[in-house]
Amino acid sequence: MDRRKSIQTIIMGAGASALMFHGCKTDTDMDVPVASDNNAYFGRTPEELERIEKLKAIQLFNEHEMETITLLSTIILPPKEPHGGPIEAEVPEFIEFIAKDIPELELTLKGGLMWLDHQCNVLFDQEFKTASVDQQKQILDTIAFQDVEIPLDEQPLEIQFFALMRNLTVTGYYTSKVGIADLGYKGNQPNIWDGVPQDVLDQHGVAYDPEWIAKCVDQSKRNEIAEWDENGNLLT
């Protein structure tokens, strides 16, 4: 395979470090993909790329709406060191895009933003974004806690709106570089799975069955070509 490259050192998870302790050096020979030199593709088909460009050319939320979305996202998930918040995670840009990508979201978002300003005008004679933090929270507290016994789509629009904004903010943050760092997710990189670390097994009160584990892959032999006897017993 031309596109394959072998690397000697990789960042390994805790499960694999135990292996390195027991194993030999060649265990770390791995076939890993070569990154694209043009990240603009991110694996899209030409039709998908065209669609994305079309959506990007449309401006769905006006400046005022974007300011309100930005403000609201940072109230929902306030920035926190060292991994920032919705702005560093480009949550407002993501919300602008996703509401075009999934058009069913648009009305709930636009209608909800209008409701926020209307409610704020009625109560405090000003737009939501210019109200004081206390005033903003006073309004949000009326819509931020949904009744779990009633399906969301049967609850008032403003409650649906807030639930949607919260979902989009949280998902937008935790799918960003800073959010994934905040979560601590260790995957999406080449590694060698060799089971759950002992301290994690202990924490959750479970253990591996030795008989089961005896059947599992011996990662120190992963690069030896498989051979079997005529009964299907692995020899290598």
Partner 1 sequence: MQIKEAPELYDVIIVGSGAGGGMATKQLADAGLNVAVVEAGPFFDPADPKTMTQLKWPYESPNRGAGTTRAFGGWDMAYGGWEIEGEPYTHEPGTKFDWFRSHMLGGRTNHWGRISLRFGPKDFKGKTRDGHGDDWPIGYEDVKPYYDKVDKLIGVYGTNEGLENDPDGFFLPPPKPRLHELFYINGAQKSGVPVIPGRLSMLTKRINKDRGVCFYCGQCSRSCSVYADFSSGSCLIFPAQKSGGKVKIYVNSVVREVTTNAEGKATGVSYVSKDDLKEYKLKGRVVILAASACSSARILLNSKSKQHPNGLGNSSDHVGRYLHDSTGASRAAFVPALMNRKVSYNEDGTGGMHVYSPWWGDNSKLDFPRGYHIEVGGGMRQPNYGFGFNANEFNKFFGLNVGGYGDVLRDDVKKYYGSVVHMAGRGESIARKENYCEIDPTTVDKFGIPVLKFNYRWSDLEVKQAKHMQDTFEEIIHNMGGEPLGDKPSADIDYGLLAPGRIIHEVGTTRMGDDPKTSVTNKFNQLHDVDNVFIVDAGPFTSQADKNCTWTILALSWRASDYIIEQLKQQNL
DSSP of 24-58, one letter per residue? -GGGG-EEEPPPPS-TT-TT--HHHHHHHHHHHHS
Minimum CB distance to partner 1 smaller for 86 or for 117: 86
Nearer to partner 1, 68 or 176 (CB): 176
Q: How far is the CB of 122 from partner 1 (least distance, A)?
A: 22
Q: Which is nearer to partner 1, 24 or 225 (CB)?
A: 225
Number of H helices, E strands in the chain: 10, 2
Window 24 to 83, contacts with partner 1 (CB under 8 A): 30-39, 41-43, 45, 47-48, 51-52, 55-56, 75-78, 80
* Smallest distance from partner 1 to CB 127, Å: 19
| 216 contributes a contact to partner 1 by CB under 8 A | yes
What's the min distance (Å) between Cβ of 162 and partner 1?
A: 8
Compute the distance between CA of residue 205 and CA of residue 202 in angstroms, rounded to an integer. Answer: 5
Contacts of 77 (CB under 8 A, 6+ apart): 85, 86, 91, 169, 170, 173
Q: Which is nearer to partner 1, 18 or 114 (CB)?
A: 18
224 scored as a contact of partner 1 (CB under 8 A): yes
The count of residues interacting with partner 1 (CB under 8 A) is: 100
Cα-flanking dihedrals φ and ψ of residue 20, to 5°? -60, -35
Measured from the CB atom, is 125 or 151 closer to partner 1?
151
Is 119 within 8 Å of 139 (Cβ atoms)?
yes
Residues 74-133 that bind partner 1 (CB under 8 A): 75-78, 80, 90, 93-94, 97-98, 101-102
Q: What sign results for the dihedral spanned by CA atoms 166, 169, 170, 175?
A: positive
Q: Does 175 sit near partner 1 (CB under 8 A)?
A: yes
From the CB of 121, what's the least distance to partner 1, in Å? 22
Per-residue burial over 83-105, b = 16 or more CB atoms within 10 Å of its CB, e = otherwise: bbbbeebbbbebbbbbbbeeeeb
Closer CB to partner 1, residue 35 or residue 122?
Answer: 35
Decide: 61 and 99 in contact? Cβ < 8 Å.
Answer: yes
Binding test (CB under 8 A) with partner 1, winner from 115, 128, 161, 173: 173
Bridge partners of residue 228, in order along the sequence: 234
